[in-house]
Every structure is written in C-alpha cells, then in structure tokens.
Amino acid sequence: MKRPWKNLSKKKFITLISVASVIAGAGTTYAWVGNPFGTSLVGRQSDNQDKVLTPVNQFVTPAGQQVEFGGNPISVKVRPDGKTAAVVIGRKDYGGDGINIVDLKTGALIKNNFSLKLDHMWGLAYSPDGSKLYATGSSGKTGKIVVMAVAEDGTPTVNNTIDLPLAAVGDNINPQDIAVGPDGNTLLVALNRDNSLGVIDLQTNQLTARIPVGNAPTGVVVNGNMAYVTNVGGKKAEPGDFTVNSSGTPIVAWPTGSSATGTVSIVDLSSNTVTKTVSVGLQPARMTVSGQYVFVANTNSDTVSVIDSKSGDVVQTIDIKPYPNAPLGSAPNAVKMINDHQLVVSLGRNNALAVYNWSSPKEKPGLAGLVPTAWFPVDIEIDAENKRLLVANADGVGSLGPDRNLTIQGISVTGHSSYAQQGSISMIPFPSSNSDLVKSTDEVYADNNWFGITGRNAKPRQNKKLDAMPERIGEPSPIKHVFYIVKENRTYDQVFGDIGKGNSEPALTQFGEDVTPNLHKLANTFPLLDNFYVSGIQSASGHQWVMQATNTDYEDKETDVANVRSYPGGAGDSLAYASTGHIWDNALAHNVPVVNFGEDNTKFTGPEKFGTWMDWYNDYLILSGQKQGDLHVPIGHYQAQTDIPSLNPITYKPFPNFNSAIPDQYRYEIFKRKFDEYVKNNNLPGLVQMWVMNDHTAGTSKNFPTPQSQVADNDLAVGKIVDLISHSPYWKDSLIVITEDDAQNGLDHVDGHRAPALLISPWIKRGITDSHYWTVINMVRSIEQILGLPPMNQNDASATPMSELFTNEPDFTPYDFEPNRIPLDALNPGSDTPAGTTPVTPVTAEKEDIQKKWMEWSDKNKDSFAGENASPDKVNANMLNHVIWYATSGFDKPYPGEQKVLTPDEVAAQPESKAPSPAKN
C-alpha cells in the first residue's frame, strides 16, 4: 500500500496532522475488505525478528533499545543518580518474579528476578538519595511494602517488609503506587481496596494514617506539601446514585455497568486531609507534575486532565485522538513532560507514545507525532542523563517464553502458553527531529491498521444488492440473525490437533475426534480456522475481549497482577467494563433486539436445594423425553443474575451461568424451549448470545463426569444447537459464531492464544482450510458488519470483517449432529453414585494410587467448579491442567515438559502452583 507520508519528510512539521487526516481518510471508495495480516502467525515475524504480531490485531515494532525479560512489568523508576532503573513484575510465577535492575548506559540487566517474596506487585519509589528502594505488593491476603537498601551498582537487598492491615471492606488492602513524602521520612501509598491514602512512617515502619479519598485509588504524586491521588472508581457514591459493585465498593455507574465518574483527591500532607476532590475523566491512572500543573491520564475517556495546583481546578482537558475523528480506545495511562514543552502520553491500547507540543493551558496542544512501543505500555520514566524515555510494556512481545526455558502454568515455556509472558522496557531517545516523528507515526499507523480506516468505516450506499458480508456497515445482508456462542479455555491443538489438515499437532491432542465429533464434523464441513486467536489470557480478560472487543486498562493491569481486586470471569466488576460498552449495548442502541443465554451472568439461584450433577443430568433426561419423573428444580425456579443493568432485561433467566455441576445438555434443553417459542411466534432477536462452558471441566472431582465426558457433553450441546437452528425456518438467514473465551488451560504448538473457532451458515464457504490470521475482534467486527452496527471502539473500527469466508451462493443443507461417542455420565472414580459406565481412559493398576490422590485433590476443590458459588478459574490453573492431562492420558503419561507423572503434592510444590488462583484474591 502506498503511504502518503513518504513524500512529506521535507515539509514543515506543522503539516503532519493534516497529512494524518489524508491518510485516515484514504480509501473512502472502499473496496477491499481482505485481511491485512495475511497468514502471519502470532509471534516474531520470520522476515523481521524485531516485529511481533499480537493476538489483538496489532503488530508491535518498538522504537529504541529493548530490554526483554519474563513477566509483566507494571512500574519503572530511575534511581536518582541516573545510572540504573528498577522494574517491578506484576505477578509471581507467570514468567518472572520481583524486581529487575537495568543498567541505563548499556541496557543490560544487572539483576534479574530479584525476589520480593510477594505474589502480586505494583508500585516503586526511590528515596531522594537513591539509597533505598520501596515496592508495594501482597502475599495472600496481606498487603505489604518491601524496604530495600541499594548498593552503589544499583542492586537491592531487602531490609524489611511492612505488613499492612486488611482493607475496610475486608481482605487484601491492595497497595498500588507509592511516593516519598516531602520530608523524605514518610511513604504515601494508594491503598486501593481501602479507598484511602496510606501514610507510612519510615522511622517506625508503621502505617500512621489512612486518609479517605475516592474509590479505588491507584496513582500518587507529590507537589510541595500536597499529594494528588487518582481514583479509578471515581467519587464516593451518594444517596440516589446508581451504582455497580467493584470489590466491595459501590461504583457510580452507567446502565452499561461501567464507571461514570473519575476523580483526583488533593491531600494536604500537613493535616492529612483531603482539601478538594477534582472531577476528571473516567478511570484516571498515572500523573506527572510539571511546574504548577498536574497532568492526569484518563484511561476510559481518552483524555488528559490538566490541574492547576494553585487553584485545584481542571484548567484544560486534552482529547487524545491518535488519528482524526478516532473513536475511544487509546487508553492513555501515563504522562511525562520532556524538553520543557513536549507532553508524552502512553497509549496503552495503541502500543504507542503520543507526543504533544504543550505551552500552557490557554493553548490547545498539537499532536507532534506518535512513537511505537511494545505491547501495552503502562508506565513512563525519564532517563535524563541519556535523554531517553523508559517505557514499561506490560505485555512486551507477548507469549514468547522460549528465551526462559521454564515451566509456566504447568506448561513448558516455549511460547505456547498464554501465561508465558515476555515483558519489556523500551529505551527511546527523546524525539529529535520532525522527520523521525513522521517515520515513527507512519509505523504506528501501519502497526494498528489505521491506513484507510475512514474508508473501512464509510457510510453505507443506497440501493446496494444483498451481500452475505456487506462491503460497508449498514448495507444489506441476507443474514438477519447471529448466534454468538462462547465456550471455555481450550487451545486449538487440544481439540483439532488430530484433524489431519491445517497447522495441527497430533501429539498435543487431548480432546480429539472421539471426544468432540461435532466440532470435528463442523470444522470439516465449514472452514477450519487454523490461525485464529483469542485475545485474553484468562476468563477475567477473555470475556471482556469477546463481548467488548477491548479490555479496560484497569482489568488488563489486574490480569497482570493476578487479579487482586476482583475476578470478573463472567462479569462482577464495574471497573472491568469499557465506557464504549458491550456488543449487546451496541445492538440495543441501534434497534437490534438481543437475547442473552448465560453470558456475563454472575449467579444462578433458586429456592430449592441446588443438588448434584446427577440431579441436573436427570432433569435433562426428563426434559428430553428419555426418562419419566419430576424435575428436581422446575424450570424458572432458578434464575440467572447479572450485575450489568443493560444485560438484565435481555437475559433469559432460566438458562444457567457458569457451573460445572449443570450439564450442557440441560442448557441445550432450556435453549431449545425458548428457541421453539421464537420459531412459533416468528420473533427471533437479531443477536443471540450464549455461554456453554462445560469444556472447562471439573477435573477429577467425585460425583462429576470425567474431563473427557464433560468436553463431550459440551461438544454434543454445540452440535445439537447447530442442528436445531439448521433445521428451523431461521437457518436460511442465520450465522452461528463460536469461540473460546480464552485458551489458558492447554498447550498449543503455535501460541497459547490460538483456539478452536467456527463460522457456520448457509452463507459460509464449505470444506476449506483458512489460514488467514483472525481474532475475536474480527468476529465482533463481522457481527457488527452484518447487523449494521457501528464499531464500538478503535479495535473493531480498525479490524476487518472475515469477508473471504462468506459466499453469495448459499448451501442450505442442514447440519445433523453427531451422537456422543463416549458416555456423558462416566463419573470420576470414587463417586458416590456410579452411573453404570466406565471412565473413557482406563487406568492401569499401578497408577490407581496416583489417580486416587488427584481425585482427592479435585474433590477438595469441587465447590470452585460447581454449586451456587462456582466461578471460572477459582482453582490454581497449574493444578487443574495437570489433572486434566493425566485424566485424558491414563495417568501414565508425564505432563509436557516433565519427566514423570506427579502427585498433587509434587505439582503443588512447583513455583507456578504457588501463584494463587486469581478468583480467590
């Protein structure tokens, strides 16, 4: 593609933004809807090892010198002598641990993985003389501050650790950013779950004050005798405010569930009182002080607020738009001032720095240009000695763990586990010339697929003929109904490794054709997508990406520190919801009816005793006519609940949420009854979204089916759903879209984000293998393109629909589901009520003892899998991955990367099993 920048390097720099307008508007006669990433695989590109493709529809080509290391860096600080910098890793055992020390002259790591003996970490601060280094984090439920002595070469030694009390709402107080007080004898720490600013006396190592501020404080800076604290959750709720919960705190919210306010608390440190609460943008994060002004990055409203410290008022709001008329989605999360007049803003979602020429709040700053970083920058520091910016990139270069030769989440680190993160620091020279900024802006546009974005989102044309995938949003399609089905946690190779075509690895197959005959038949009948990726690491981020085509800065950082505050694996936290809304919000806002079956529902409760898996299985047998009798829970007595107001009215409440104790066959029967009503009344909504999740499994818990049986149950339910739709009057104008929410519980030979996905319709090409790069963002964009919905944010605005998979020559042949090949009621050994069937994979006598031990472990954790308190990912994923592997291989095949079959105690002793389950924090 020819890019108009190329001829502009000699023009005056002031023309850059007008040139950007030309580029963003290029292609307004929109014709091409192909895939800009071709058949590239996620990871380093073979033709350019410095170029990495992420699973979120972006290349990263970071500027400057890169320092890579395992884990997710959250904060970076330069030592006052300017010789070294410290970087803290967000969570233990997911690729890195503790603190790394970087030599700023050479870029070498002089200390790697210096352990703080913490599970989660966040903030950093040096003492004014650089002799001390302070870090915040927690171990279990106890928030902590680690005090370190710093040697001449910059390497730290732990002096002592200060334990913090529990939060006012209970459990972990969750300390985040810290700053040294103006007297040098105190530490100021944002006590995130306590909604307070903590004051630590460094002489006594005691918490001497907890100053109430706003909701979920995160950032702290000091200016004179005043501290400024960003409150991600905004103002305290008042009587009459509409609220949605976040980790025990009511957050003032919109009907979409997302937070509606953001504030900065100004604290007088002489009296330890808040003198003013300043309204800023949504979900404010980090700040910087320059002269009399405090600059605040507002992640959920794409703005920077400028506060005059003399008046305490917001005197300017800078709109962050990386290209003209850009929708929300840049997620600015950190700011610094360089060269006395250039404001540098970290754009977390754009993998870039935005450089603004700023003179005073009376003048609108001009965007000088963009500079590429690595994946998801979260913090900026100034290396004044070398005139460079240090950028902490939380996701760095993605799941590229081969450089580490460790075991992450029970999987050997070869870049195949979504948890095998390689974070990085970008050491970027200050912008020195206009031509450099022109070139780097060009790179950011290319990396984010912004060239031609106006044409890609051009207004619909009148009198266009039907097109299965319209060229423009709003143009007609014969497809009127989309079924969006979300499953749980499997990689591509786990399911399709044995399919015999495409980029598949048979050795990694755990749930092959005998377990998943329907998924295999569907992938052979419709396109096999062997280069498809989910964008989240686990359910808390995965469900946000699947339903929002983005993830908030708040939730991405929560994922990177193992979700201390909450675990919204199926909703449950206002701050995890983007201000741009969910796909159902988009549909409802544009008069497309929606019905929801299970997705983002947080509870399923009723008056009767919940019962066992067998009780719900018997209910399925009765509902399907295979057995006579009364249901143990009449339909409708148990009701699904959600904390998202806009989702509640469109949720079909008899359909269960996440719960491994309820078979997916039961879910199918509930769906079938409602679908039959839609057929009878001719009123099927345009968007039908559904969560069928028993491919998650319950390990080898007693009184639950084996992992193979639960995956087979899920497979049969999917097959029946497609069968039902395809034999109905709605088949002729329907599309079925199927994806996992994440792929965390398996191994894949390409990348840990690669997952099985399906597009099913008369209007979809049949019998092909499609190796083009696709993600769930492309899925969302395809749904929007067909239903006439505008993009919600920058991610789906830049994404292309999956056009080449569609055809205007439909094949209306219906799909006939494949019966399960293994019994659905094969309960795990040791169950109280044998179902008369034997486990799918027989176990030799010598392995019965180890099988029994794993059953005991699963049984101890069964309340996390099932029942009224069930939630995705409550148990440690390393433990669950091991038991599922053993159960599917007869307990005699070592886990990948290990030499023998291990007992639960042996697996529990692995470092990655020490990382707590995110849902328990």
> Which helix (H) or strand (E) element contains residue 566?
none
Domain tally for the chain?
3
Residues 679 and 785 in one domain: yes
Burial class of residue 867, CB neighbours in 10 A (0-12, 13-18, 19+): middle
- Asked whether residue 138 is domain-assigned, the answer is no
CATH number at 515 reads 3.40.720.10
Residues 541 and 651 in one domain: yes
The answer to whether the beta carbons of residues 177 and 123 sit under 8 Å apart is yes
Average pLDDT over residues 49-67: 95
Diameter of the chain by CA atoms? Answer: 83
Write the pLDDT tens digit of every residue in 247-279: 999 999 999 999 999 999 999 999 999 999 999
What pLDDT is stored for residue 861 in this prediction? 81
pLDDT band at 506 (very low <50, low <70, confident <90, very high): confident
What DSSP character marks residue 633?
A: S
pLDDT reading at 12 higher than 70: no
Q: What does pLDDT average to over the chain?
A: 90
pLDDT band at 19 (very low <50, low <70, confident <90, very high): very low
Residues 555 and 683 in one domain: yes
- Asked whether residue 677 is domain-assigned, the answer is yes
What pLDDT is stored for residue 47 in this prediction? 86
Tokens 């009184």: give the residue: 703
Average pLDDT over residues 473-499: 96
- Asked whether residue 769 is domain-assigned, the answer is yes
Round to whole Å and give the CA distance between 652 and 598.
8
- Asked whether residue 291 is domain-assigned, the answer is no
pLDDT band at 21 (very low <50, low <70, confident <90, very high): very low
- Asked whether residue 555 is domain-assigned, the answer is yes
Round to whole Å and give the CA distance between 831 and 702.
4
Structure tokens that stand for 783 in this block: 């749904």
What DSSP character marks residue 917?
A: P
Residues 781 and 873 in one domain: no
pLDDT reading at 145 higher than 80: yes
State the virtual CA torsion across 719, 724, 726, 728 in degrees, nearest 10: 180
Round to whole Å and give the CA distance between 877 and 410.
8
Residues 790 and 705 in one domain: yes
Residues 174 and 247 in one domain: yes
Cβ neighbours of 899 (radius 10 Å): 7
pLDDT band at 816 (very low <50, low <70, confident <90, very high): very high
Residue 276 pairs in a beta bridge with: 266
Which residue, 805, 826, 857, sits at the end of a domain? 805
- The contacts found for 904-908 with CB under 8 angstroms, 24 or more apart, are 904/853, 904/854, 904/856, 904/857, 904/879, 905/853, 907/410, 907/878, 907/879, 907/882, 908/879
pLDDT band at 20 (very low <50, low <70, confident <90, very high): very low
Q: Mutual orientation of helices 539-548 and 553-560 as an angle, nearest 10°?
A: 160
Residues 648 and 714 in one domain: yes
Write the pLDDT tens digit of every residue in 749-759: 888 899 999 99
Which residue, 280, 298, 327, sits at the end of a domain? 280
Write the pLDDT tens digit of every residue in 444-470: 999 999 999 999 999 999 999 999 999
pLDDT reading at 184 higher than 80: yes
What pLDDT is stored for residue 700 in this prediction? 84
Residues 656 and 745 in one domain: yes
> Which strands sit side by side in the sheet containing 226-234, from one edge to the other?
215-223, 226-234, 262-268, 273-280
pLDDT reading at 788 higher than 80: yes
Residues 173 and 227 in one domain: yes
Which residue, 805, 830, 863, sits at the end of a domain? 805
Residues 527 and 654 in one domain: yes
Taking Cα atoms as reference points, which of 322, 253, 297 lies closest to residue 795?
A: 322
3-state secondary structure 307-352: EECCCCEEEEEEECCCCCCCCCCCCEEEEEEECCCEEEEEECCCCE
- Asked whether residue 710 is domain-assigned, the answer is yes
> Which helix (H) or strand (E) element contains residue 296?
strand 293-298
Residues 645 and 559 in one domain: yes
- Asked whether residue 31 is domain-assigned, the answer is no
CATH number at 242 reads 2.130.10.10
- Asked whether residue 736 is domain-assigned, the answer is yes
What pLDDT is stored for residue 409 in this prediction? 34
Residues 864 and 800 in one domain: no
Write the pLDDT tens digit of every residue in 381-400: 999 999 999 999 999 988 77
- Helical spans, DSSP H, in 452-491: 453-456
pLDDT reading at 862 higher than 90: no
What DSSP character marks residue 655?
A: S
Report the percentage of the chain scoring pLDDT > 70.
91
Write the pLDDT tens digit of every residue in 890-907: 788 888 778 889 998 989
Range of the domain at 197: 166-280
Write the pLDDT tens digit of every residue in 544-588: 999 999 999 999 999 999 899 999 988 999 999 999 999 999 999
